[in-house]
Amino acid sequence: MFSDEAEIIIQSGKGGDGCVSFRREKYVPYGGPDGGDGGNGGDVIFKVRNSLRSLSWIRSRHLFKAQNGQNGMKQRKSGKHGEPCIVEVPPGTIIKNIQTDVLLADLSHDTDEIVIAHGGRGGKGNTHFMTSTNQAPKYAQDGKEGIEIHLKLEVKLIADIGLVGKPNAGKSTLLSRLTKAHPKIGNYPFTTLYPNLGVMYISEFDSITIADIPGLIEGAHKGAGLGIRFLKHIERTKALLYMIDFYEEDPFQQFQLLFHELNTYHPDLVKKPFYIALNKIDVMENQIHQEKFKLLLSEITTSPYSELITKDNIFLISAVTGEGLETLKNKLYHLVETHNVHTTNNNVLTNEY
Ligand SMILES: Nc1nc2c(ncn2[C@@H]2O[C@H](COP(=O)(O)OP(=O)(O)OP(=O)(O)O)[C@@H](O)[C@H]2O)c(=O)[nH]1
Ligand SMILES: [Mg+2]
């Protein structure tokens, strides 16, 4: 399962204690009770924030605690309610009680908000306990304790970018450079047998997810190789990155093959916004890869793809040395952001094949 997990402790606020107090006024010798009520403790509320993609900010903080209610005061003044603690999570977050393994919430929509731990109620002040036989109650209620729950949060990750390329093009290497994922990398075709997913961070809060799928070969749409089994996941990504081994003979032909396989599998795949990464430039002389690049551009210009591809959509990179990756990273992020249509939980990548 591609998921991001975090274990946290939440504590709702304790209710404030009710107050025991009596009116003390200059000319009122036997003033009645005037102790105010305690304020309620704050709730712990989970709220979906659509722009969040992972639980990373939550993992860096272990305890989430709402404020206690204030105690009641004399002159019937109630204590203030405690401020809630709001925990923002990405859409699709599942919240479980670790101790009981009970599912507490499944937050799939961006408007979802749920109180997971209610704050303790504030205690009543002594004004509530006056009876005909007890005109001066010296008793007030204590505020109720808040609750503490150990939670496990899990979010199924949605891939924003799908990496498509022939076997050995360097997709897994790129994923390992842009994210913290550790996919298997090997100098042979079909190193990747199952999709890998990684989260690429631009800042603490801004990230996109990238899926690396097994390499595609000719006839993939008819089931050749492995990649076809995983194209259904690519179908739901927002954008694609075509990975081309630029050291290989015919980069344009590699691109055409990939495009053709995707198009034959499902025409919607090739309608997605995409970039092309020309990888492995570290093993080529500067002049050679520049010439090869020019040739590729001229081939594109005179092809039916000329409408779809401009020079600005192509990036020369080395996934091994890191050359060109900073630019590519920013471009990929903005590509996703500008096509940030709301994705549903159907877009979840799972390992259930
Ligand atoms: N010189 C050089 N080698 C690279 C570069 N990127 C990847 N490689 C090498 O190319 C080989 C294949 O890399 P992978 O990342 O496993 O390729 P892949 O596209 O994931 O391959 P499959 O999983 O088989 O589809 C490995 O030996 C990598 O070290 C690069 O930028 N420069
Ligand atoms: Mg791979």
**Shortest-distance Cα residue to atom 16 of ligand 1:** 185
**Pairing mode, strands 148-156 and 103-107:** unpaired
pLDDT of residue 348: 36
Distance CA 256, CA 260 (A): 6
CA 332–ligand 1 middle distance (angstroms): 20
pLDDT of residue 345: 34
- Closest atom of ligand 1 to CA, residue 175: 15
279-331 residue pLDDT tens: 999 999 999 999 999 999 999 999 999 989 999 999 999 999 999 999 999 99
Pocket test for ligand 1, best of 166, 172, 173, 194 (most atoms within 8 A of CB): 173
Residues 6+ away with beta carbon under 8 Å from 98: 7, 150, 151, 152
**Shortest-distance Cα residue to atom 8 of ligand 1:** 170
**Shortest-distance Cα residue to atom 24 of ligand 1:** 190
**Shortest-distance Cα residue to atom 7 of ligand 1:** 170
Percent of the chain with pLDDT over 70: 89
Provide the CA 110 distance to its chain's centre, in angstroms. Answer: 12
User: What average pLDDT score do residues 113-142 get?
Assistant: 94
Q: Measure Cα distances from 266 to 201, 228, 261, 274 in Å.
A: 30, 11, 9, 15
**Shortest-distance Cα residue to atom 32 of ligand 1:** 280
Distance CA 254, CA 241 (A): 13
pLDDT of residue 107: 86
Distance CA 307, CA 336 (A): 20
- pTM beyond 0.95: the answer is no
Residue ranges of domains in the chain, CATH in brackets: 3-156 (2.70.210.12), 161-347 (3.40.50.300)
**Shortest-distance Cα residue to atom 27 of ligand 1:** 187
pLDDT of residue 65: 97
Report residue 277: phi and psi, to 5°.
-110, 125
Distance CA 160, CA 2 (A): 13
**Shortest-distance Cα residue to atom 21 of ligand 1:** 168
CA 319–ligand 1 middle distance (angstroms): 8
**Shortest-distance Cα residue to atom 26 of ligand 1:** 187
CA 159–ligand 2 middle distance (angstroms): 16
Alpha helices in 104-186 (DSSP H): 171-178
CA 61–ligand 2 middle distance (angstroms): 34
**341, pLDDT greater than 60:** no
**Which of 109, 54, 60, 61 has its CA nearest to residue 85?**
61
pLDDT of residue 346: 35
CA 186–ligand 2 middle distance (angstroms): 7
Are the C-beta atoms of residues 251 and 259 closer than 8 Å to each other? no
21-43 residue pLDDT tens: 998 877 766 788 999 999 999 99
Token readout for 196 is 């890998």
- Closest atom of ligand 1 to CA, residue 166: 25
CA 12–ligand 2 middle distance (angstroms): 46
- H/E element, 245: strand 239-245
CA 168–ligand 1 middle distance (angstroms): 5
Q: Provide long-range contacts, Cβ within 8 A and 24+ apart, for 102-108.
A: 104/151, 105/46, 107/46, 107/48, 108/48, 108/344, 108/345
Provide the CA 210 distance to its chain's centre, in angstroms. Answer: 12
Backbone φ/ψ region at 280: left (φ over 0), alpha (ψ -120 to 50), beta: left
User: What average pLDDT score do residues 222-251 get?
Assistant: 81
Mean pLDDT is lowest, of 34-38, 59-63, 349-353, for 349-353
- Closest atom of ligand 1 to CA, residue 188: 24
Distance CA 208, CA 90 (A): 12
Q: Which residues line ligand 1 (CB under 6 A)?
A: 165, 167-173, 185-187, 189-192, 214-215, 279-280, 282-283, 318-320
Question: What one-character DSSP code corresponds to residue 292?
Answer: H
- Closest atom of ligand 1 to CA, residue 189: 24
CA 247–ligand 1 middle distance (angstroms): 11
Are the C-beta atoms of residues 208 and 200 closer than 8 Å to each other? yes
